[in-house]
Amino acid sequence: MTALVIVLAASLVTWLLRIGFITVLPAERLPARIQRAFDDVAPAVLAAIVVSHVVHAGGPGAIPWPTLAAVLAAAAVAWRSRNLALPVVVGVTVFGLVLAAPDLAGPSTDGPEHVQFDARPVRAGPV
Amino acid sequence: MSQSPDGALLRGALPVTASSERLDRDAVRDVLPVAVSLVPFAAVIGVTIAQATSVPIWVGMLAGPLIYGGSAQLAALTLTDTGAGLLTVLGTVLVINARLVMYGAAIEPRFRGQPRWFRWLAPHFLVDQTYTLANERPELSGPAFRRYWGTVGLVLGGVWVGTMYLAVALGPAVPTDSPLTFAATAVFVALLVPRLRQRAARRPAALAAVVALVASPLPHGLGLLVGALAGVLPAILLGGRERS
């Protein structure tokens, strides 16, 4: 019962965050200077999400080489093509390959024992 | 944001109302790779639901479509299962999902002039991925936007919730440590990098990345929120760019 109440309340809070500037206080009523900043929302949030994924893949103090290598590979492909699937396929492939090569990955940074952690990216979603 | 008048003419002029009950094919094509990339994360949450001891399975499953956000759902589920109180859970959910407020503000023009039911209910589909996909198609408005947004939200939610429920049924048999877990990260890279070809996108992205990195020790993904806010801040302080 308590768990149900918590889930319903969490859903309500999330919905309020979503409709806040759409329906309750439409953003068109905000100052023009703030409205012009909206163009920067997507690049800023996307960059912050990617960084947070990489950081959380490594755990404290560890450099997550497989994730880092895969991000760079996916980024290189994405720079050349607007296709969404191609960078994902290349990124996952590189990630898998570096994981499978522990010598490349370095000692116990992001090896298989950390993949479990990678499986719970705090920011992956539909977040 | 890159407005494309050509696209607006091509797409906006189509008599989309005639076929408004069908799924938008462009939307399906756009969202499918994104939806597939979420399969590993949905599987992790499904397994967590199945293994929770003090949260009934049906309550955990209900949270999938109701919260429509993986990180918040996972946090709410695990915190509740370890005995955290209502306020702790709500505070955490609030921090994790706070950037939805920014998305709402930024996407509001697309909801302007839409029917009342759409303005109240359709924002439920607002997440990182749906916001970004809609952002890539600035030419859509009116019924065309409703169709696109609805299709993207339903397909993403369908794959998301379907995978989660399948993982609940299969339980610990589901592998949660495959290289596919990187797919979710890769989608965000694929959405970010093409934008960086535009000079105007580089400052907010670089600033957000650096600040998110420095702030990453903060709990509950607060570093992500702080980084994103830092990336947008100069535009607010300096008055932003003139729209072309």
Q: Do A91 and B185 touch (CB under 8 A)?
A: yes
* pLDDT attached to residue B21: 52
Cβ distance B241 to A39 less than 8 Å, yes or no, reads yes
pLDDT value of residue A1: 67
pLDDT of residue A77: 96
A45 and chain B in contact, CB less than 8 A:
yes
CA distance B162 to B116: 29
Beta carbons of A52 and B66 less than 8 Å apart: no
Q: Say what the pLDDT of residue A62 is.
A: 80
Average pLDDT over residues B220-232: 89
Nearest CA in chain A to B80: A3
Does the distance separating the beta carbons of B30 and A33 come in below 8 Å? no
> Minimal Cα–Cα distance from A109 to chain B, Å?
16
- Would you state the pLDDT for residue B83? 86
Contact of A1 with chain B, judged by CB distance below 8 Å, is answered with no
pLDDT at B8: 41
Which residues in chain A have their CB less than 8 angstroms from residue B215's CB? Answer: none
**Sequence-ordered alpha helix ranges (H) in A20-120:** 32-36, 41-58, 65-80, 85-100, 102-105, 112-118
Asked if B24 and B151 count as a contact pair (C-beta separation under 8 A), the reply is yes
Phi-psi label, residue B96: left if phi above 0, alpha if psi -120 to 50, beta otherwise: alpha
Task: Give the CA radius of gyration of chain B.
Answer: 19
Q: Which chain B residues are within 8 Å of A66, Cβ to Cβ?
A: 182
Give contacts of A 76-105 with B, CB under 8 A: 77-79, 82-88, 90-93, 95-96, 99
pLDDT given for residue A36 in this prediction: 84
Confidence at residue B174, expressed as pLDDT on a 0 to 100 scale: 81
Would you say residue B242 has pLDDT above 90? Answer: no
- Return the structure tokens found at B79: 């915190």
Q: What is the mean pLDDT of each run of 10 residues along chain A (127 residues)?
A: 92 97 93 87 92 84 89 95 86 92 55 41 42
pLDDT in tens, B148-169: 999 999 999 999 999 999 999 9
CA A22, CA B107: separation in Å to the nearest integer?
A: 8
Separation of alpha carbons A48 and B209, rounded Å: 5
Place of tokens 């499904």: B46
Average pLDDT over residues B66-92: 90
The percent of residues above 70 in pLDDT, for chain B, comes to: 89
Assign B124 a pLDDT band (cuts: 50, 70, 90): very high
DSSP codes, B115-156: -HHHHHHGGGG-SHHHHHHHHT-TT--HHHHHHHHHHHHHHH
pLDDT for position B15: 44
Looking at residue B241, its pLDDT comes to 53
pLDDT surpasses 90 at B16: no
Average pLDDT, chain B: 87
Among B239, B230, B226, smallest CA distance to B203 is for B230
> DSSP assignment of B25-86, as one string?
HHHHHHHHHHHHHTHHHHHHHHHHHHH-SSS-HHHHHHHHHHH--HHHHHHHHHHHHTT--H
Tell me: the pLDDT tens digits for A98-120?
988 866 545 544 444 444 444 34
CA distance A81 to A88: 12
Contact of B184 with A124, CB cutoff 8 Å: yes
* Interchain pair B176, A37: CB under 8 A: no
Angstroms from B25 CA to nearest CA on chain A: 16
Predicted ipTM? 0.82
Sort out which chain A residues have CB atoms less than 8 A from B89's CB and list them: 6, 9-10
